[in-house]
Amino acid sequence: MYRITIFFENAWWFILASFILTLLWPTSQIQAQESWKISDCIDYAMENNLDLNMKYNNIESQEVSLKESKANILPNLNFGSNLELNFGRNVDGNDNSVTYDPTLSQNYYLNSSFTLFQGMVKKNGIRFSKYLLKASEQGAEVEKNQLVFKILSSYYTVLYSQGLRDVAESQVGLSKMQFDRMQKLVEVGKESPITAQDLESQWASDRLSLTKAQNQYNKTILELKQLLRLKVEQSFAIDTNTTQELILNASNNVDSIFIRAKDILPQLKQQQMLLGASEKNLAIAKGGVYPSLNMNAGYSTGFYDQNSLTYGKQLEENQNQWVGLSLRVPIYNRAVVSSDIKRKRIALKDQKLLFEKQKEALYIEIWNAIEDLQSAEKEYQSSQELHDFSELSLKNVTKKLEKGLANTTEFETAKQRYISAQANLLKSKLVYVMRYQMLTFYQTANWNHLY
C-alpha cells in the first residue's frame, strides 16, 4: 500500500507539472536550432514574399508613369536629316528649276512643338497618375496586412499543434508509468495480469495518439515554412517562450472603432485614391470636347550637289527658321469622345459603389472581430473552469485510488478528462490572443503589438 501511495503521489505531480508547462506555452522540446518569434517570421516574409515584391514593382511602374505625365507638359524637340538621290524629273534645290539630271541633296532639321491648351488634359493626367501611385502604395500596405494575418494564423496553428503534441507526450509518459507499476505488482502476485494488459493497451493507444499529434505538428510547421518560402533543408522552430498577457472584459464599440479605422486602414485609403483617379480620368475624357492650340517652331538647312559652293557654305546660306500656331476644333468624331465620357462616368459610379462596399465590408469585419473576441473570452473562461474542475477531480480520484476506493478505469477516465480540458484551455487561449491582436490592428492600423 505504501508503494502504491508513493507512486500516485509522484504520478500526480508528474501530470500537474507537465500540464502547467503546457498551459503557459508548449515548451516540451528544446530546439537546437535558433527559434523564430512571430516578429522574425513577419520581417522575413516582408523581404521574400513574391506577391508583396510584385506590389513594390507596381509602385515603381506608377512612379515612372507619373514622371512621364509630368514630362508630357514640356515641349518636345526633335532632330533629323534626309539624304536623297533623285533621278529623272525633279527640282534643282539651288534655283528651284526643273532638271532631269541626277541630283544629290541632304537636309537637316530641328523642330519643336508645345501644347498651349488642350482642355486641361495633361494636367489632369498628372493628377490621375498621382492618384494611381498613391493607390499602388496603399495596395502594397493591404498586401502586407494580408500576409501578416496569414503568418499570424499559421503561427498560432503551430503553437496549438505543438501544445497538443506535448499533451500527448505527457499522456504517454504517464501511461508507461502506470504500466510499469502494475507490471511490478503482477510480478509479486498483487494484481491480475489482465489489468496490466489493459494498461499496456492504453499505453499503445497513447503512443498512436502521440504519433498523430507529431504528424500534425510537422504538417503545420511545413505550411509555415512554405508560407515564409524557406528552403526544405533549412532548420526551423518557433519561439514558444513568449507569453501573452490576456486582457479580459475589454469593452469595445463597433462604431467608435470603425470611425477611427476608416481613416487609417489602407484598404479604404486605396479605394479613396482609386475614386480620385476615376474622377480625373473622367476629366481627361471631357477635355476631348475642347479645342486644342499648339505652337510649332523649327530650323532647317540643306546641301545640293549641283551648287558650286562648299558643303559648309551651303549649310550656312540655306538656313531656314519658322514658328507657327495650329488650332484644332473637334466638331464630329463619330461619337468617340462622347462615348468615352459616358464610359468614364459609369466607371466613376462603379468606383463610388465599390468604395461604399469596402466601407461596409470593413464595418462588418470589425463587428465580427468584436463578436469573435467576446465569444473567445467566454470560451476561455469556461475552459478555465473546466480545467480547474478536471484538475480537482483527478486529484480526488488519485486519493481514492490510494485508499483502494477507486479502480484504474476511474483513474484513467479522470486523467483523460483533465488532458482534454488542458487541450481545450490551450486552444481557447490561443484563439483569444489571436482575436485580440486582430482587433488591435483595426484600432491602430499596424502590427507593432506583435513586436
Q: What is the pLDDT of residues 357-384, one digit of tens each?
A: 999 999 999 999 999 999 999 999 999 9
Cα distance between residue 15 and residue 149, in whole Å? 35
Give residue 9's pLDDT: 44
Cα four-point dihedral sign 91, 97, 98, 101: negative
Which residue, among 414, 412, 409, 410, has the nearest Cα to 392 in the 3D structure? 414
Cα distance between residue 311 and residue 93, in whole Å? 14
Residue 263 has pLDDT above 90, yes or no: yes
Residue 278 has pLDDT above 70, yes or no: yes
Judge residue 419's burial from the number of C-beta atoms within 10 Å of its C-beta, 0-12 exposed, 13-18 middle, 19 or more buried: buried
| End-to-end Cα distance, the chain | 54
Cβ atoms within 10 Å of 275's Cβ, excluding its own = 16
* Cα angle value 342/343/347 (rounded, 5°): 120
Cβ atoms within 10 Å of 152's Cβ, excluding its own = 20
- 199 CB-near residues (< 8 Å, 6+ apart): 175, 178, 179, 182, 408
Of the ranges 13-17, 345-349, 393-397, 441-445, which one carries the lowest mean pLDDT score? Answer: 13-17
Q: What is the pLDDT of residues 326-335, one digit of tens each?
A: 999 999 988 9
Give residue 42's pLDDT: 95
pTM given for the model: 0.83
Give residue 265's pLDDT: 96
Mean pLDDT of all residues belonging to the chain:
87
Of the ranges 168-172, 193-197, 443-447, which one carries the lowest mean pLDDT score? Answer: 193-197
**DSSP string covering 54-76, please?**
HHHHHHHHHHHHHHHHHHTTSPE
Give residue 246's pLDDT: 66
Residue 87 has pLDDT above 80, yes or no: yes
In contact, 176 and 169? CB cutoff 8 Å: no
- Report which of residues 407 and 304 the model is more confident about: 304
Cα distance between residue 149 and residue 161, in whole Å? 18
Cα distance between residue 332 and residue 413, in whole Å? 89
Cα distance between residue 222 and residue 229, in whole Å? 10
Q: What is the pLDDT of residues 47-81, one digit of tens each?
A: 999 999 999 999 999 999 999 999 999 999 999 99
- Report which of residues 150 and 419 the model is more confident about: 150
Residue 32 has pLDDT above 60, yes or no: no
CA atoms within 13 A on the CB side of 448: 4
Q: What is the pLDDT of residues 189-221, one digit of tens each?
A: 777 788 778 778 888 988 999 999 999 999 999
Cα distance between residue 292 and residue 447, in whole Å? 51
Highest mean pLDDT among 88-97, 125-134, 414-423 belongs to 125-134
Grid coordinates representing 126? 498628372
In contact, 180 and 200? CB cutoff 8 Å: no
